[in-house]
């Protein structure tokens, strides 16, 4: 205290000020805690205040201040080193503990069944699917087999029959048969293949039966495809299970064009059964649901129908109202595929952005429940018809199904932007100095770019913009769809990419779908060549229309299109399609290709295709 008073007297500060500070016990420690405004109440002179502040600081203990820079730096480095060693040892301890505690591993188990004709994986709705489970790392072949039997044959029963009727094997992810030697334990398999997730298959094959021949005869039926004027019949032997699963001829709708005919002539376009008792379809035993869809209001009607989550558990039947307000007579799987195609085309136009690939955009009139309903339409279409909207951007779909993007964002962004924008961006990526700077900045500014662009950072900027446009902006839609589809669509990123590619129609793929009778007349062979040439000349839009006319779907969801020939006059000839059975009937009386092309184009350019056979 005295030291402060003596310092202030030496600077000529008034005595009463010094006495006041002594009364208030303001010493050097207190002054060190005061700010300039508080000290000004006692010492009005700014210079005196600065001097007393400096004087008080110089009187503090100097043990640490006297340490040189080297000593202080060495002290800090010693503390950091000790801290790092402590953290490292703690991390190693935790890792060691984790490895010691990891006695189980996740694996996936599926079911592959051989029905003597084909070998394929059993889907979830048929009692199969891919199941993710935990097993001991020491579990071997027998444990995997028993676990698979428990999953797919609960209580020894499956949709394909009891467990006692099948021979069992365990296959690896390459569908190679495993033995006790090749699969001693799960941990050994993980160490060998170095994969993040192992997949096994329980492979089943029905045991040979003494009554196999007689059973096969009882389960087949013969029916005739009527062609021409009831002169020639083509005998076709079909397994009834296949009829139930795919063709379902008894409810096959028909698309017709041109004048309507009398009963006798219309019977020539009908598929006839030979009065064979067909076992009841499993779908008929389930609770069915009929929805009404107006042709001019497909988007809204489908969203309303799929707002109920229970629709995913029901067999769907579609009742469609035509633009003239009359009910369409046709029914069956072909109508459902056609409605799905119509819905997604309208969805692309009204609810998405993008050119070649599409991304949903947020609408103020679409709440979460509306987007979830659209997600159910996507799931139901894939489950019932294998229809999947392949125009949606792959990065967007990957984010929905896998919560991550695996594909090339820049490549799909180039398909998202317009052709003019694509040209500018591609030129900038190829030769930055050659591109028009104003054009480039205009394109980037339209997508909200806020960084200075150079040749070095342009690829990174485009990738960031692509992620914003195809993932960040539609994130609300992604969250809604993930809730509906994540647990039901068992697809890997590679399988999703392959699915979208397989669904996309090309002229080569469609030509390969066409199936003709073996014995064709000269006229029929010529018309068959006209049909193939017509398909090869179609652009993408008309090719999708052709597929939709024949199958009800604008994507490839079938293995074949059966082509038959009819006797028609020049006035009455028109193509006829049975969309449920994927059957196309055309006249065999065309004299040249231009006539064939002209008449088929007139069909494809029609706005409404009426399905009028139940």
Same domain for 186 and 258, yes or no, is: no
**Among 224-233, 288-297, 379-388, where is mean pLDDT lowest?**
224-233
Same domain for 384 and 441, yes or no, is: yes
For residue 503, pLDDT beyond 80: yes
Domain boundary among 208, 240, 262: 208
Alpha helix segments (H runs only) across 24-68: 28-33, 36-39, 46-58
pLDDT band at 369 (very low <50, low <70, confident <90, very high): very high
* Within a domain: 217: no
According to the per-residue pLDDT averaged within each range, which of 108-117, 128-137, 406-415 is highest? 406-415
According to the per-residue pLDDT averaged within each range, which of 22-31, 81-90, 223-232, 427-436 is highest? 427-436
pLDDT band at 488 (very low <50, low <70, confident <90, very high): confident
Q: What is the pLDDT of residues 448-477, one digit of tens each?
A: 998 899 999 999 999 999 999 999 999 999
pLDDT band at 102 (very low <50, low <70, confident <90, very high): low
Average pLDDT score over residue span 427-444: 92
According to the per-residue pLDDT averaged within each range, which of 32-46, 215-229, 465-479 is highest? 465-479
263: left (phi over 0), alpha (psi -120 to 50) or beta: alpha
Higher pLDDT, 192 or 341: 341
* Within a domain: 320: no
Two structure tokens written together for 94: 């935790």
Q: How far is residue 311's CA from residue 314's CA, in Å, rounded to a whole number? A: 5
pTM: 0.54
- Bridge pairing between strands 288-294 and 315-321: parallel
- Could you list the residue range(s) of the whole structural domain that residue 394 is in? 292-309+331-486
What pLDDT, on a 0 to 100 scale, did the predictor assign at position 571? 76
What pLDDT, on a 0 to 100 scale, did the predictor assign at position 326? 84
Q: How far is residue 464's CA from residue 444's CA, in Å, rounded to a whole number? A: 11
User: How does the average pLDDT of the chain come out, rounded?
Assistant: 80
Average pLDDT score over residue span 583-612: 81
Same domain for 460 and 355, yes or no, is: yes
What pLDDT, on a 0 to 100 scale, did the predictor assign at position 417? 94
* Within a domain: 389: yes
**Among 206-215, 455-464, 527-536, where is mean pLDDT lowest?**
206-215
pLDDT band at 361 (very low <50, low <70, confident <90, very high): very high
Residue-wise burial string across 370-404, b where 16 or more C-beta atoms lie within 10 A, e elsewhere: bbbbbbbbbbbbbebbbbbbbbbbbbbbbbbbeee
Two structure tokens written together for 550: 């024949």
- 65: number of Cβ within 10 Å: 9
Same domain for 303 and 433, yes or no, is: yes
Residue 231, exposed/middle/buried by CB under 10 A (0-12, 13-18, 19+)?
A: exposed
For residue 412, pLDDT beyond 90: yes
For residue 249, pLDDT beyond 50: no
pLDDT band at 32 (very low <50, low <70, confident <90, very high): confident
What pLDDT, on a 0 to 100 scale, did the predictor assign at position 609? 55
C-alpha separations of 344 from 88, 289, 394 in Å = 55, 21, 16
**Portion of the chain with pLDDT greater than 70, in percent:** 78
* Within a domain: 51: yes
E strand or H helix that includes residue 367 = none
Average pLDDT score over residue span 483-502: 90
Two structure tokens written together for 420: 């003019």
pLDDT band at 226 (very low <50, low <70, confident <90, very high): very low
Same domain for 115 and 201, yes or no, is: yes
Average pLDDT score over residue span 14-19: 85
Two structure tokens written together for 151: 């999953």
What pLDDT, on a 0 to 100 scale, did the predictor assign at position 546? 92
Same domain for 260 and 340, yes or no, is: no
**Portion of the chain with pLDDT greater than 90, in percent:** 36
- Phi, psi dihedral angles at 461 (to 5 degrees): -65, -45
What pLDDT, on a 0 to 100 scale, did the predictor assign at position 526? 92
For residue 142, pLDDT beyond 50: yes
For residue 89, pLDDT beyond 60: no
- Bridge pairing between strands 254-255 and 288-294: unpaired
Q: Specify whether the CB–CB gap between 345 and 275 falls below 8 A.
A: no
Q: Specify whether the CB–CB gap between 48 and 11 falls below 8 A.
A: yes
CA atoms 405, 558, 490, 477: torsion sign: positive
Task: Spell out the residues 6+ positions from residue 169 whose beta carbon is closer than 8 angstroms to its own.
Answer: 177, 178, 202, 203, 204, 205
Number of domains composing the chain: 4
- 324: number of Cβ within 10 Å: 8
The torsion defined by the Cα of 43, 44, 50 and 54, in degrees rounded to 10, comes to 0
Q: Specify whether the CB–CB gap between 586 and 527 falls below 8 A.
A: yes
Domain boundary among 424, 459, 486: 486
Task: Spell out the residues 6+ positions from residue 193 whose beta carbon is closer than 8 angstroms to its own.
Answer: 173
Residue 210 CA to its chain's centroid (Å): 46
What pLDDT, on a 0 to 100 scale, did the predictor assign at position 426? 94
For residue 68, pLDDT beyond 70: no
Two structure tokens written together for 451: 């960084």
What pLDDT, on a 0 to 100 scale, did the predictor assign at position 271? 42
For residue 377, pLDDT beyond 90: yes
* Within a domain: 517: yes
Same domain for 264 and 122, yes or no, is: no
pLDDT band at 299 (very low <50, low <70, confident <90, very high): very high
Q: What is the pLDDT of residues 179-206, one digit of tens each?
A: 888 888 888 888 887 777 788 889 998 8
Two structure tokens written together for 389: 């909207």
* Within a domain: 571: yes
Q: How far is residue 136's CA from residue 552's CA, in Å, rounded to a whole number? A: 49
Same domain for 478 and 543, yes or no, is: no
What pLDDT, on a 0 to 100 scale, did the predictor assign at position 61? 58
Q: How far is residue 103's CA from residue 142's CA, in Å, rounded to a whole number? A: 18
Two structure tokens written together for 607: 């706005």
Q: Tell me, what CATH number does 564's domain have?
A: 3.30.2410.10
Same domain for 520 and 579, yes or no, is: yes
* Within a domain: 96: no
Same domain for 443 and 539, yes or no, is: no
Q: Specify whether the CB–CB gap between 273 and 249 falls below 8 A.
A: yes
**Among 76-90, 335-349, 353-367, where is mean pLDDT lowest?**
76-90
Same domain for 51 and 109, yes or no, is: no
129: left (phi over 0), alpha (psi -120 to 50) or beta: left
* Within a domain: 319: no
What pLDDT, on a 0 to 100 scale, did the predictor assign at position 91? 54
Q: Tell me, what CATH number does 186's domain have?
A: 3.10.20.90
What pLDDT, on a 0 to 100 scale, did the predictor assign at position 303? 95
For residue 228, pLDDT beyond 80: no
Same domain for 379 and 437, yes or no, is: yes
For residue 364, pLDDT beyond 50: yes
Q: Specify whether the CB–CB gap between 168 and 202 falls below 8 A.
A: yes
């Amino acid at each position: 205290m005295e030291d402060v008073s003596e310092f202030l007297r030496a600077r000529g500060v008034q005595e009463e000020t010094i006495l006041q500070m002594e009364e208030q016990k303001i010493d050097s420690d207190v002054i060190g805690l005061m700010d300039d405004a508080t000290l000004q109440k006692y010492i009005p002179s700014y210079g005196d205040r600065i001097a007393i502040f400096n004087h008080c600081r110089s009187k503090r203990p100097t043990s640490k201040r006297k340490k040189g820079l080297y000593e202080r730096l060495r002290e800090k480095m010693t503390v950091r080193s000790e801290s790092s060693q402590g953290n490292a040892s703690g991390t190693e301890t935790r890792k060691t503990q984790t490895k010691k505690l990891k006695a189980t591993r996740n694996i996936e188990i599926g079911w592959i069944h051989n029905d003597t004709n084909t070998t394929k994986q059993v889907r979830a709705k048929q009692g199969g699917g891919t199941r993710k489970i935990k097993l001991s790392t020491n579990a071997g072949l027998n444990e995997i087999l028993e676990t698979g039997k428990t999953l797919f044959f609960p209580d020894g029963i499956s949709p394909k029959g009891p467990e006692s009727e099948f021979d069992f094997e365990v296959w690896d992810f390459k569908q190679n048969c495993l033995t006790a030697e090749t699969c001693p334990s799960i941990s050994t398999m993980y160490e060998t293949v170095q994969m993040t997730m192992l997949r096994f298959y329980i492979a089943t094959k029905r045991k040979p039966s003494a009554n196999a021949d007689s059973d096969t005869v009882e389960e087949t039926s013969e029916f005739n495809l009527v062609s021409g004027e009831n002169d020639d019949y083509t005998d076709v032997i079909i397994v009834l299970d296949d009829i139930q699963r795919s063709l379902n001829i008894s409810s096959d709708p028909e698309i017709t064009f041109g004048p309507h005919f009398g009963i006798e002539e219309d019977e020539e376009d009908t598929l006839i059964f030979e009065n064979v008792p067909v076992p009841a379809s499993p779908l008929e035993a389930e609770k069915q649901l009929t929805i009404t869809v107006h042709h001019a209001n497909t988007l809204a009607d489908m969203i309303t129908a799929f707002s109920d989550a229970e629709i995913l558990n029901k067999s769907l039947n579609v009742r469609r109202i035509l633009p003239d307000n009359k009910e369409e007579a046709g029914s069956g799987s072909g109508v459902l595929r056609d409605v799905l195609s119509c819905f997604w085309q309208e969805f692309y136009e009204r609810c998405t952005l993008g050119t070649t690939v599409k991304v949903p955009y947020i609408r103020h009139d679409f709440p979460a429940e509306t987007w979830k309903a659209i997600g159910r339409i996507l799931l139901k279409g894939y489950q019932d018809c294998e229809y999947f909207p392949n125009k949606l951007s792959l990065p967007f779909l990957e984010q929905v199904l896998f919560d991550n993007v695996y594909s090339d964002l820049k490549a799909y962004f180039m398909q998202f932007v317009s052709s003019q924008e694509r040209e500018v961006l591609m030129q900038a990526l190829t030769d930055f100095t050659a591109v028009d700077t104003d054009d480039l900045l205009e394109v980037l500014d339209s997508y909200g770019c806020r960084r200075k662009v150079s040749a070095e950072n342009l690829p990174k900027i485009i990738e960031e913009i692509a992620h914003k446009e195809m993932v960040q902006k539609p994130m609300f839609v992604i969250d809604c769809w993930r809730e509906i589809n994540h647990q039901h669509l068992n697809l890997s990123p590679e399988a999703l990419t392959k699915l979208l590619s397989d669904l996309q129609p090309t002229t080569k793929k469609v030509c390969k779908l066409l199936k003709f009778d073996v014995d064709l007349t000269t006229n029929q062979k010529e018309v068959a060549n006209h049909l193939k040439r017509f398909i090869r000349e179609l652009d993408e839009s008309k090719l999708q229309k052709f597929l939709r006319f024949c199958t009800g779907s604008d994507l490839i969801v079938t293995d074949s299109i059966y082509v038959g020939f009819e006797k028609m006059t020049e006035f009455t000839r028109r193509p006829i399609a049975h969309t449920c059975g994927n059957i196309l009937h055309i006249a065999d009386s065309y004299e040249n290709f231009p006539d064939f092309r002209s008449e088929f184009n007139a069909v494809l350019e029609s706005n409404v295709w009426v399905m009028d056979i139940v």
